[in-house]
Each structure stands twice: as structure tokens, then as C-alpha cells.
Amino acid sequence: MADGHNVRPLGTVKLPLLIDNQYIYQIFVIADIDIPIVLGYDFMYNNQCVIDVPNKNILLNSQTVDCHLESQIPSLFKISIDEQVTIPPNSETIIHALPNEKLPYGTTMILDNTSQSFKNKGVLIAKSICTFKGDNLPLRVMNLTDLPQTLYKNTCAGTAETICSENILGNINAEPELVLPEHMQVVMEKCKSNLKTDQCKIVVDLLTKYSGAFAMSKNDLGRTDIIQHKINTGNAHPIKQNPRRVPLAQRKEVDEEIQRMLDGGIIRHSQSPWSSPIVVVRKKDQSIRLCIDFRLVNDMSIKDNFPLPRIEDCLDALRGNQWFSTLDLASGYHQVGMDPQDGAKTAFVTSTRAPKQWSLSKVETITSFEAWRQNLQYTLSLDQNFAAFLVDGFTWLKKTNANPLRGIVDDGEAVAEANRRTAAQKCTHLDLMLGQIANYCPIISRNTIIKNSTSINSIWQSIRLHYGFQSTGGHFLDFNSIFFGTR
């Protein structure tokens, strides 16, 4: 180096050089120094370079290349139209222009300041950045009038200013604002009241990342075959029952529901020797649920040895916890695969449709809950101290404010990996439960579980009304011959 110390090269590399429309391949020595490229004697000898100082050019492979000092390059110059062009009314187009000054190849400039003659015609030039390639410059022009405008050759279009290409930011590293999908916004609305501003942003990021774990519609169901639903009937013979009559007012709804489940892969056509009738149940939203009367199948089924949780243990698990994150699966049983060998036992029949059987688990079978809970236990590796099971969902428990978002991350990763779908409108995340939990009789506080006198009084009033009606009505009706004893 110039100061006398040695620099160890990092290696050599062969790179293409573009000099005035000529591509030349040259071997470069790479070193850890802050010095621009130096083209030495070997380059000039191999490419027959002749330096002409008086004329300010270099002869490179028999081609003249103009040389410019950086200080001599004009910083502001005019640009003119390269050819005559007519612009239609109320439209924009791209035309070609030339700089009025001699510029070196690769000069970067910004096109600005439309000429007054263009403005008088109602024509404007869009601000843009371009690099001079030795031929022409692209101009985006717009005709704002209702008449076609003709631009003549060599007419001054405006001015341009040279800029340093290093000051151009091609990409701004500003993170775009995340917008939650429409079906996810209801989840955010439920949990943002308990979160700070920075926590809300983290939750939005997490919900966006795992939005695929939430069902977008009624038919958007996942499928997991980690543990399949089996129905062990031993050596029992197939049971075939006749279909029950469906009321005329419900037949259209039943047919539509069956077709929806066929399209969704929940059921399929069947030729099974087993057959059970359907039972139509009206839900709270007045839609129907197709239930199957599997009582005869259940009588000969062998139950799985998987104990159900006690309600008392579930309530005890809530004590001492502060944060709750609940996921409600969308048709959770329909997301558990049915064992192909036992699928024929789930066949059902209606009075208007051919027999069908379930491709997925069905809640009416006696072993369905055990299969679902085993599947969820295996998939999520849940501990009773950290999670509580519901009928078709589960709740994460968090005791302190330290990283309360961990539960959502665990939920999203586990559910997405298992290809499960949850119902967004039924899920709640990061609920700060320090008062009464909805739909529960006890009042759950951070450290205690006490009786809810309000709920107990309501139940007590109902019991008093019931027995009051019995004591009064007993003078007129023989209740003992009509009703079974109250337990």
C-alpha cells in the first residue's frame, strides 16, 4: 500500500465489465481495501487501449470511448423530444427524449420541471429517475386536455439533473402494516381490551402468521389422522335399521346438509351392511344438525380405556391462573379421521337419499370423545396443570403476566402442524379472568374458587317454582303416574 504496509489478497475473480456498450471479461484481485477498481497495464495491453488526452477519449478495441472528469459533467441540462409524437386526449404514454449535453454512459439523472411550452398545451411530464444508456431517455407524459396534442421533434420537454446513484433507495425497509383477515378480526376484538399497545401488535402478528389454523367458513375443516377413531364391536353382527320419516318442511334442509358434507369430504357414499337412522336437531341459530341414532351400535361397542376429566379437577386447575386462552374447534369431531375398517359401522340412511357413511369421527358414537381427546392430548402434549379440556376445545392457563402470549404461539403452532381448524368467533385469547367466568356457577378469582350466590339463588328459585307447581297441581293431576321421580 502507499503507506508501506502489506495487504494479503483474498483471492481472484473473473468479472464482466461494461464500458460504453462493450462487455469485457477481466480477472480482478480482491483485497480488503477501500479503493475503487484500478485497470492497470495488463488490461490496457490486452484491449489495445490508446489514450488521446487532447481529444479527451480512449480507443478501446478500435472503439472510441469519451472520457469525462466528474467535475465537468453538467449537473443541470435540458432534454428534447427525439421524434414527433401525438398524444390522445385524457391519456398518458411514454415517449423518447435526448439530453442537450454530452453525457457519459451510465449517468443517473432525475427528470423534472416540465417546460412552459408543454404546460401551455396541457401536457405534463412525470417525475422519474433513469440511467443514460447512450441512446435516449424515456419520458412518461400525460395529456390532460380533451384534444390530441402533437409534440414536435427537438422541442424542449423540460430539464434533468444528475444525481449520485448511491443516494437512490431502491427498497424502503418500512414494514407494511399487517391487516388481519376478516375472519380473524373477531378474535382480535375479544382480546385487545386486556392488552397494551405493543402487545396488541404482537398478537396481530401471531394471528396473521397462524390465520390458517382458523376456519374461514363452515366448510373449511382440517383433517388429522395422528390417531384415528376406531369402533370396536368385537364379533357382533351388523345392525341394520330402517330410515325414519323426515318431515316435509325439513327435507330440503336435510338434503342440502348431506350434500354439503359430501362436498366437504365429511361423509361418502356407502354400501355397508350397517345402517342407522338420522335424527334432525334444530340448533340455536335455527340451522339443523344431522345426528345419528347409534344407540344399538353403542350397546355392542367396547369403550376405550381413557378416563374423562372430573369437573372438580377442571375447576381446581383454574385456581391461581390469571390468563386464559381458549380454542374452540370448528366441528372438532369432523376433523378426526375415521379408521377405514370401522367406517362401515357409521353408515346411516334417510328416507330420500342413498346410504352414506362417515369419513370422519362422529360425536354420537360412544368412543368418539375418547378418540378426540386422545388425539388432542397426543397432538398438543397437554398437561392438566396448564390446560383444561372442553367438549370440543381446550383452554390454556397462565398464572403470571410474564409472556402471556406464549399460549397463543403454542396453540397456533400445534393446531397448524396437526392440520386442525378452530372457529374464530368462538375463540378467546388472553382473557384476564379476575371476576366471574361466564356460564360457570363458581366465581373464579386469582387464588380462590367460591360459590356464586347470584347463580345459586337463580337455581334455587327454579327448584322452588318446580316443587310449588307439583304441590299445587297434585290436587288435580296424578303426577306419580305421569312423571318419573325427580333426582
Q: Quick one: average pLDDT of 207-214?
A: 75
Domain for residue 152, yes or no? yes
- The answer to whether 317 and 384 have CB atoms below 8 angstroms apart is yes
Q: Quick one: average pLDDT of 165-187?
A: 64
Per-residue confidence (pLDDT) for residue 437, from 0 to 100: 37
Same domain, 34 and 118: no
Same domain, 293 and 428: yes
Same domain, 377 and 241: yes
Q: Which residue has the cell 387464588?
A: 447
Same domain, 299 and 408: yes
Q: Alpha-carbon distance 300 to 223, whole Å?
A: 28
Domain for residue 300, yes or no? yes
Q: Give the pLDDT confidence of 263-319 residue by residue, as tens digits.
A: 877 788 888 888 888 888 888 888 888 888 888 888 888 877 766 667 777 767 666
Q: Give the pLDDT confidence of 446-459 residue by residue, as tens digits.
A: 444 445 555 556 65
Best CA proximity match to 443, nearest among 451, 431, 454:
451
- Give the single-character DSSP code of 106: T
Confidence label for 484 from pLDDT (cuts 50, 70 and 90):
very low
Per-residue confidence (pLDDT) for residue 15, from 0 to 100: 85
Per-residue confidence (pLDDT) for residue 429, from 0 to 100: 47
Same domain, 258 and 118: no
Is residue 486 predicted with pLDDT exceeding 50? no
Largest distance between two CA atoms of the chain:
130
Q: Alpha-carbon distance 100 to 77, whole Å?
A: 7
Per-residue confidence (pLDDT) for residue 402, from 0 to 100: 46
Same domain, 77 and 62: no
- Give the single-character DSSP code of 329: B
Percent of the chain residues topping a pLDDT of 70: 60
Is residue 466 predicted with pLDDT exceeding 70? no
Decide: helix, strand or coil at residue 165. helix
Quick count: other Cβ atoms within 10 Å of Cβ 236? 14
* CATH code for position 159: 2.70.40.10
Same domain, 347 and 389: yes
Domain for residue 469, yes or no? yes
- The answer to whether 429 and 195 have CB atoms below 8 angstroms apart is no
Is residue 95 predicted with pLDDT exceeding 70? yes
Same domain, 341 and 466: no
Q: Give the pLDDT confidence of 123-158 residue by residue, as tens digits.
A: 888 888 888 877 788 888 888 888 888 888 888 888
Confidence label for 337 from pLDDT (cuts 50, 70 and 90):
confident
Per-residue confidence (pLDDT) for residue 75, from 0 to 100: 65
Domain final residue pick, 105, 131, 166: 166
Q: Quick one: average pLDDT of 322-336?
A: 68
Domain final residue pick, 67, 86, 101: 67
Domain final residue pick, 23, 42, 67: 67
Q: Give the pLDDT confidence of 38-59 residue by residue, as tens digits.
A: 788 888 888 888 888 888 888 8
Q: Alpha-carbon distance 97 to 157, whole Å?
A: 8
Domain for residue 240, yes or no? yes
Q: Which residue has the higher pLDDT, 473 or 441?
A: 473
Q: How many domains does the chain have?
A: 4
Domain for residue 20, yes or no? yes
Domain for residue 3, yes or no? no
Same domain, 122 and 46: no
Confidence label for 116 from pLDDT (cuts 50, 70 and 90):
confident
Same domain, 378 and 474: no
Q: Alpha-carbon distance 275 to 268, whole Å?
A: 14
Cell of 431: 382473557
Confidence label for 207 from pLDDT (cuts 50, 70 and 90):
confident
Domain for residue 407, yes or no? yes
End-to-end CA distance of the chain: 100
DSSP labels for 4-27? S------EEEEEEEEETTEEEEEE
Q: Alpha-carbon distance 232 to 422, whole Å?
A: 29
Q: What's the whole-number average pLDDT of the chain?
A: 72
Cell of 55: 481529444
Same domain, 33 and 99: no
Q: Which residue has the higher pLDDT, 460 or 21?
A: 21
Q: Which residue has the cell 497495464?
A: 41
- The answer to whether 364 and 281 have CB atoms below 8 angstroms apart is no
Q: Give the pLDDT confidence of 239-274 residue by residue, as tens digits.
A: 888 888 888 888 899 888 888 888 877 788 888 888
Same domain, 230 and 357: yes
Per-residue confidence (pLDDT) for residue 321, from 0 to 100: 67
Q: Give the pLDDT confidence of 57-84 residue by residue, as tens digits.
A: 888 888 888 776 655 555 677 888 888 8
Quick count: other Cβ atoms within 10 Å of Cβ 242? 9
Q: Give the pLDDT confidence of 355-397 residue by residue, as tens digits.
A: 777 665 554 565 555 565 666 665 555 444 444 444 444 454 4
Per-residue confidence (pLDDT) for residue 391, from 0 to 100: 45
Per-residue confidence (pLDDT) for residue 421, from 0 to 100: 56
**Structural domain span for residue 30:** 11-67
Q: Alpha-carbon distance 79 to 101, whole Å?
A: 8
Per-residue confidence (pLDDT) for residue 195, from 0 to 100: 73
Domain for residue 172, yes or no? no
